[in-house]
Amino acid sequence: MNTENTSYNKEKNATGDYDSLYTMDNTINPHENYREKQHYTRHVLLASLGIPVFLFALFAVSILISMFIMAANTNAIQNPEQLEQLMMNPTIVTVMLVAQSIIMLLIAIFATFVAGGKKTPKIFQLSSYKNIFTKLGFVKHSALKTANHIVTGLLIGLVVFAALQVIVILFGMAGISLDSSDTSEMVFSSNSWILVYLMTPLIVPIVEEVFFRGFILGFFSYPDFSIKKRNIIGLIVSSVLFGLMHFQGFSGIADIFVVGWTAIIGLVFGILYLKTKNILTPIFAHIAYNGITVILVLLSGM
């Protein structure tokens, strides 16, 4: 038996997995191929279940908040339109965003924990959490490389925002308005500093990148972004879902554009993650994009 061809490479890869599926000459080990497919199927199934679970949990939270509002404003609510207006209150929107963020993080962390199977460390061990966050893209690099990833993310975020402005101008020249939706206007015109200065430019980008890139894309691209077909599937699924999550209705072409443009952003951020294998890159790209949006909107006196 050729020892070189049957020895396993135990070096830890970028996703935190120690069990390499390749021999020392980088060929697939036939004895591990079946187990690898089982692990991949488990990851895809968990990622696929993550979305409906998230939507159901968010729907349940919305129902609970609606019931609370109706109970507190029994005499003030005479029709569904009045309830909808109360649901758009900045405080309620902030609560919904916080709940959404918590749900997304819990799903991503729990799914990552389950994906480890029998090899996952006990939940009370600190190494368990280190492995989970490593698998979600928080990979340790040198200080210089990490700084490079962060700067790259910030620059890409600014470029994507600049591209949006060019598109808005071109559409405007064609007589098509891409004005922000009522939801966006409510967010930026509210007096909630948590919503405007904390959730939108910081918390939301971190949570969304961990969920859509670290969790959804990462699981579909299991185990280490080395299989092109899986990367493509992961990019498409995560980007489309990212766009649909920002769906705000069909009140005009602007709402349709938001879904399409957000999906494109998801594609760009996903490629960033695949290239750098560091979730900090798309996180800072997202922070730059949302942050410059908040700054310009506030400066415009909206």
What is the per-residue pLDDT across 245-274, written as a single tens digit (0 to 9) for each?
A: 988 777 778 888 989 999 999 999 999 999
Name the CA dihedral angle for 154, 158, 164, 166, rounded to a multiple of 10 degrees. Answer: -160
The reported pTM is 0.82
Cα–Cα distance for residue pair 223/227, rounded to 1 Å: 9
Q: Give helix then strand counts, H and E, for the chain.
A: 13, 0
Residue with tokens 């480890």: 116
* Three-class secondary structure of residue 8 per DSSP: strand
Percentage of the chain with pLDDT > 90?
42
Residue 294's alpha-carbon distances to 53, 115, 154, 197, 264, in angstroms, are 30, 37, 15, 8, 20
pLDDT in the model for residue 264? 97
Weakest mean pLDDT among 73-87, 187-201, 213-227, 244-258: 73-87
pLDDT in the model for residue 216? 96
150's enclosing H/E stretch is helix 143-173
Per residue in 61-73, pLDDT (tens digit) is 888 887 777 776 6
Query: Both ends of the chain: CA-CA distance in Å?
Result: 73
* Residue 126 scores a pLDDT above 50: no
Cα–Cα distance for residue pair 272/79, rounded to 1 Å: 46
DSSP string, 264-294: HHHHHHHHHHHHH--THHHHHHHHHHHHHHH
Identify the residue with better confidence: 33 or 255.
Answer: 255
pLDDT in the model for residue 16? 44
> What are residue 23's phi and psi, to 5 degrees?
-80, 175
- The pair of structure tokens assigned to 55 is 């939507």
HSE toward the beta carbon, residue 266, CA cutoff 13 A: 28
Cα–Cα distance for residue pair 37/144, rounded to 1 Å: 36
- Tell me which amino acid residue 81 is: E
HSE toward the beta carbon, residue 243, CA cutoff 13 A: 20
* Residue 144 scores a pLDDT above 70: yes
Identify the residue with better confidence: 193 or 296.
Answer: 296
154-182: average pLDDT: 87
Per residue in 37-51, pLDDT (tens digit) is 888 888 999 999 998
